[in-house]
Amino acid sequence: MQLKLNNFTKTFGEVTVIDGMDLTVNDGEMMALLGPSGCGKSTTLFTICGIHRMNGGDLHFGDRDVTHLPSQQRNVGVVFQNYALYPHMDIRDNIAFPLKVQKQDSATIKRKVNEIAELVHIPELLDRKPAQLSGGQQQRVALARALVRQPDVLLLDEPLANLDAKLRLEMRSEIRRIQLETGITAILVTHDQVEAMSMCDRIALMRDGKIEQLSEPSEMYNNPANTFVAGFLGNPPISFVNAQVAGGSFTFGDNTVAIAEALKPRVGGEVQLGIRPEHFGPQFGTGVTGKISFVETQGREDLYNVTLNSGGMIRSIQPAGERLKMGDAVSWGVSPEAVLAFDTSGDRL
């Protein structure tokens, strides 16, 4: 079911946390609300689920205006970071709880609990208590409880934050599988760009209560609207250097990088260049000189920081091989087609 926020405003006392946000999540889509801590992601999610009241704007689920409905009447499933399972109830009763609140009959409850336990792959855990489950299993129970009522939308607030790295990886694909199998419209709140990119159809990247860009993950990565977006996606992150446009090239100190034809009409004077680590290295020729100031191997790849002779630093990622050392001098190239150019205030050129 489509979810639509129009001109949504939220204030706490004097402080405006969300100022006139518009957001449409399509039927069956999984949307990430991504952004740094404190930008208003949870506030948005809590408002959609009815925990917070809106100070302005409206919210529709399909044709239904739910702006003024209490949480119980909105038909949303929510998974919080801490799962919020009831510790004294076994797993079966935890999952059944929303159905018991609705006073569904016991045969129906039993059938629905069994079905949803199959879906999230926990049928063998139904008689245990939450404390007897691992973090990943508790996460599955929380998902089952959120989904058992067949809600119109599924809301997930940092659902993977409490899991260790390996489980996080597993649950990333599991949550996506379950979302795709049920076809439910979902919003995932996360500060982790990898989660947003790997799990979601589109990403709304937020800063200070506003959406900076809303795009598919690869589009946001390749075509960021500004330096904030460019810097938020990508690990190791993009590097920025200040440059001038002169004689068909970007120049910074003694370094020159060719300007792609398509970019030429749009740039002039002072610019900021954004160079991703996969676009700087010996495979792109020479022309940018500096010294290796940091080396880290990640097994399959080596990461380098190159501190430029002219000042500033550009990261590089290279297939693991003969490793350079700190202090080694290099003259590497930049892929001109891949350079992103921004004006001095950070907007994309």
Ligand X SMILES: Nc1ncnc2c1ncn2[C@@H]1O[C@H](COP(=O)(O)OP(=O)(O)O)[C@@H](O)[C@H]1O
Position 39 contacts ligand X (CB under 6 A): yes
Encoded one letter per residue, x for contact with ligand X by CB under 6 A and - for no contact, window 287-306 reads --------------------
Position 40 contacts ligand X (CB under 6 A): yes
Shortest CB 77 distance to Mg ion, Å: 18
What is the rounded distance in angstroms from the CA atom of residue 198 to the CA atom of residue 190? 12
Written as six digits, the tokens of 338 are: 């891949």
- Please provide the distance, in angstroms rounded to a whole number, between the alpha carbons at the two ends of the chain: 37
Position 160 contacts ligand X (CB under 6 A): no
Shortest CB 35 distance to Mg ion, Å: 9
What is the rounded distance in angstroms from the CA atom of residue 140 to the CA atom of residue 298? 31
Q: Is 16 helix (H, G, I), strand (E, B) or coil?
A: strand
Question: Minimal CA–CA distance to 140: which of 167, 165, 164?
Answer: 167
Position 44 contacts Mg ion (CB under 5 A): no
DSSP state of 2: -
Shortest CB 192 distance to ligand X, Å: 12
Single residue of 14, 37, 247, 327 touching ligand X by CB under 6 A:
37
Single residue of 29, 32, 40, 42 touching Mg ion by CB under 5 A:
42
Position 17 contacts ligand X (CB under 6 A): yes
Position 272 contacts Mg ion (CB under 5 A): no
What is the rounded distance in angstroms from the CA atom of residue 251 to the CA atom of residue 271? 10
Of 37-45, 93-101, 174-182, 332-340: span binding ligand X (CB under 6 A) = 37-45
Q: Give the Cβ contact number of residue 241 at 10 Å.
A: 22
Of 39-47, 98-106, 110-118, 272-280: span binding ligand X (CB under 6 A) = 39-47
With contact defined as beta carbons under 8 Å apart, do 272 and 241 qualify? yes
Encoded one letter per residue, x for contact with Mg ion by CB under 5 A and - for no contact, window 49-88 reads ----------------------------------------
What is the rounded distance in angstroms from the CA atom of residue 306 to the CA atom of residue 291? 5
Tell me how many residues contact ligand X (CB under 6 A).
Answer: 10
With contact defined as beta carbons under 8 Å apart, do 161 and 135 qualify? no
Looking at this protein, which amino acid is placed at residue 238? Answer: I
Of 31-39, 167-175, 222-230, 313-321: span binding ligand X (CB under 6 A) = 31-39
Question: Minimal CA–CA distance to 56: which of 26, 24, 22?
Answer: 22
Position 42 contacts ligand X (CB under 6 A): yes
What is the rounded distance in angstroms from the CA atom of residue 335 to the CA atom of residue 340? 10
Among residues 192 and 302, whose Cβ is nearest to Mg ion?
192
β-pair type (56-61, 280-281): unpaired
Position 43 contacts Mg ion (CB under 5 A): no
Shortest CB 187 distance to Mg ion, Å: 12
Interface contacts to Mg ion, rule CB under 5 A: 42
Interface contacts to ligand X, rule CB under 6 A: 12, 17, 35, 37-43
